[in-house]
A and B are shown apart, each in its own frame.
Chain A
Amino acid sequence: YGFILPGWKKTKLTYRIVNYTPDMTQTDVDKAIQKAFKVWSTVSPLTFTRIYKGIADIMIAFGTGAHGHCPRYFDGPLGVLGHAFPPGNGIGGDVHFDEDEHWTEGSAGFNLFLVAAHEFGHALGLSHSTDRGALMFPNYAYINPTEFPLSPDDISGIQAIYGPSPNTPDKPARPASPKTCDPMVSFDAITTLRREVMFFKDRHIWRVYPDNSEVELELISTFWPFLPSGIQAAYENIKDQILFFKGNNFWVISGYQVLPGYPKNINTLGFPRSVKKIDAAVSNKNTGTTDFFVGDKYWRYEESSQSMEKGYPRQITDDFPGIGKKVDAVFQHKGFFYFFRGSKQWEFDPNAKRVIRVMKSNIWFNC
């Protein structure tokens, strides 16, 4: 994080919404702004009171191009979404949103609550963070609104200026961005997609091209804003789709879109009601079957007939000797299965039914 001292010299601040965007109802704008202030008041001693006339500490307005007396211009659709000024008199503390954007309360267009929360960070004295998981990172990324949007980095930043909140936060901060070369890194789920392999961890995704040294860390929401964080299993099917699993729900994704009717309950795949979640899944490209790992057992699903094979579940240790009783994640690459648990992975030959070698889980990242 970065900040500009001294910040506001008081903790009781006022704000005024000068005008509204026609993209949303006034009630929804009011709610988004109020909620965005609450994010910061939860973790600091600051309070925010709305006023309806006169000069507030934080004046909030929507505008296009050259707007009012603001020295900074907007640039039309996309590009710059909003800007704000650090604490001070006059334009100090003011927040402007580019009316050429499409403002929403959801994941389409740009979510006003998230952009407002980011800009309010500037209005309180924070500058941009280099932490990709921070709200104060300069590029927009959609976050599920049920999640608290501040990262530990954001909270450290605001508390470096104003100190901690006298009250305990009622929501935990988002987890910090995972470190790519952390030797203890573990994964929630892994899947292939065409030539790349995707490793899922909390809200993040690493994209790896195995024949290339590049590794990219992104937020899952950058590609699929409707997916929850903490995906538990994922696999690529034979139709160029990815299936994502969390709890008893699963989603089928084609490109950026979720197929209509999803999420569905995993029972619709043929699991008994006693199965509440899937730990890992892998589709065997050679056989057209998919193995679902649940606790110490696995089920086999026939992709062409879209039904579970008879005779399952079976014990993992019986058919995959050497990989242990539980699996975090698995994917197939060049015929081999790669099973992950904690910070280890097992390269497994499904034809010979034996482990070839055991490795650290993050060797795919060229650490």
Chain B
Amino acid sequence: FPVLPEKNNEGENMQLVQEYLEKFYELQPDPEHLAWRRSTSPMVEKIQKMQEFFGLEVTGKPDPETLEVMQKPRCGVPDVGQ
């Protein structure tokens, strides 16, 4: 029966978060650190927006509930900033 997804390794999770936020929350890729950004504050802010939109607890962190929502099939239109 439905359970929260297994915790993947942190790198895979962060990649998922990065790609999701770029697609749906207009997170700008960092030109110097495409795979990883040194300052996480823009990402934290976008995660908070995403959590607020989906009615999740606003932690600014990619916790299991947030990752679960990010893995659900969805529409490709951004949720904010249209």
Let me know if B31 is at the binding interface, CB within 8 A: no
> Can you name the residue of chain B whose Cβ is closest to the Cβ of A98?
B76
Let me know if B75 is at the binding interface, CB within 8 A: yes
Contact A122 B77 (CB under 8 A): yes
Contact B1 A80 (CB under 8 A): no
Contacts of A115 in B (CB 8 A): 75
Contact A140 B73 (CB under 8 A): yes
Partner among B2, B73, B76 whose Cβ is within 8 Å of the Cβ of A83: B76
Partner among A82, A86, A130, A255 whose Cβ is within 8 Å of the Cβ of B76: A82
Contact A118 B1 (CB under 8 A): no
Q: A86-B82, A223-B2, A255-B1 are in contact. Are A119 and B53 (CB under 8 A)?
A: no
Contact A81 B75 (CB under 8 A): yes
Partner among B55, B74, B82 whose Cβ is within 8 Å of the Cβ of A81: B74
Contact B73 A128 (CB under 8 A): no
Contact A84 B77 (CB under 8 A): yes
Which residues of A from 87 to 140 have beta carbons under 8 Å from B? 98, 101, 110, 115, 118-119, 122, 127-128, 130, 132, 138-140
Contacts of B45 in A (CB 8 A): none
Count class of interface residues, chain A: 20 to 34
Let me know if B69 is at the binding interface, CB within 8 A: yes
Partner among B2, B53, B74 whose Cβ is within 8 Å of the Cβ of A130: B53
> Can you name the residue of chain A whose Cβ is closest to the Cβ of B1?
A255
Contact A80 B82 (CB under 8 A): no
> Can you name the residue of chain A whose Cβ is closest to the Cβ of B79?
A128
Per-position contact with B for A251-290: 1 when CB-CB < 8 Å, else 0?
Answer: 0000110000000000000000000000000000000000
Contacts of B69 in A (CB 8 A): 139
Contact B73 A110 (CB under 8 A): yes
Which residues of B from 48 to 82 have beta carbons under 8 Å from A? 53-55, 69, 72-77, 79, 82
Determine the distance from Cα of A79 to Cα of B53 in the docked complex, in whole angstroms. 18
Q: A86-B82, A132-B55 are in contact. Are A138 and B1 (CB under 8 A)?
A: no
Contacts of A140 in B (CB 8 A): 72-75
Contacts of B23 in A (CB 8 A): 80
A–B Cβ pairs within 8 angstroms, 13 of them:
A79-B73, A80-B75, A81-B76, A82-B76, A83-B75, A83-B76, A86-B82, A101-B73, A130-B54, A138-B75, A139-B72, A140-B74, A256-B2
Beyond the given pairs A101-B73, A139-B74, 16 more chain A to chain B contacts, judged by CB atoms under 8 angstroms and listed by A's residue number, are A72-B76, A81-B74, A83-B76, A83-B77, A84-B77, A119-B75, A127-B79, A128-B79, A130-B54, A138-B75, A138-B77, A138-B79, A139-B72, A140-B73, A140-B75, A255-B1
